[in-house]
Amino acid sequence: MALIIRSPDIDELPGLSDLCFRSKAVWGYDEKFMEACRRELSFAPQDLEQTHVAVAEEDGRILGVVQIRISAAEAELLKLFIEPEVVRKGTGRALFAWATDVSRRTGASRIVVEADPGAAPFYRKIGARDAGQAPSGSIPGRMLPRLVFDVLR
């Protein structure tokens, strides 16, 4: 069955927040760390108006979610999370391609990612370049790899 990329409904947001939490946990963080990240891993209803969100669905099951925020020439990747049991099957690449399309259509020329260190090799693999570090939005004092993906016209 084919992978469908579509917008989520508002009543799917709590389930998507849970998906992000499960997905982030694959890197083996402890409970305290995960709780500190919970807000950043959650969706709020206004996200559907203020940002661009898409899910990847196959056989009626949601396998992953992506969220970007566009401001002028720059798109910020806020979330990209895949269900743990289906990682490395192309879902992340498909959702990132959707984010690239939206960025191109809305005039953004690059996508900036403040990545989990475990996910940085994925972004490099799909064409992003390293661009320094950025402070974590959840854990004071933690620095994250910052990567930039150029959106080709």
Ligand X SMILES: CC(C)(COP(=O)(O)OP(=O)(O)OC[C@H]1O[C@@H](n2cnc3c(N)ncnc32)[C@H](O)[C@@H]1OP(=O)(O)O)[C@@H](O)C(=O)NCCC(=O)NCCS
Where on the chain is the footprint of ligand X (CB under 6 A)?
23-24, 26, 80-82, 87-93, 115-116, 118-119, 121-122, 125-126
Task: Give me the least distance between CB of 107 and ligand X, in Å please.
Answer: 24
Residue 43 or 81 having the CB closest to ligand X: 81
DSSP string, 66-82: EEEEEETTEEEEEEEEE
Phi, psi of 125 (to 5 degrees): -60, -35
Between CA 124 and CA 83 the distance in angstroms is 21
Task: Give me the least distance between CB of 138 and ligand X, in Å please.
Answer: 12
Q: How many CB atoms lie within 10 A of CB 80?
A: 23
Which residue's CB comes closest to ligand X?
A: 92
Residue 17 or 23 having the CB closest to ligand X: 23
Closest CA to 90 of 64, 62, 119: 64
Task: Give me the least distance between CB of 3 and ligand X, in Å please.
Answer: 10
Task: Give me the least distance between CB of 49 and ligand X, in Å please.
Answer: 23
Residue 102 or 115 having the CB closest to ligand X: 115
User: Where would I find the H helices in 3-134?
Assistant: 13-24, 31-37, 47-50, 91-105, 120-125
Residue 107 or 150 having the CB closest to ligand X: 150
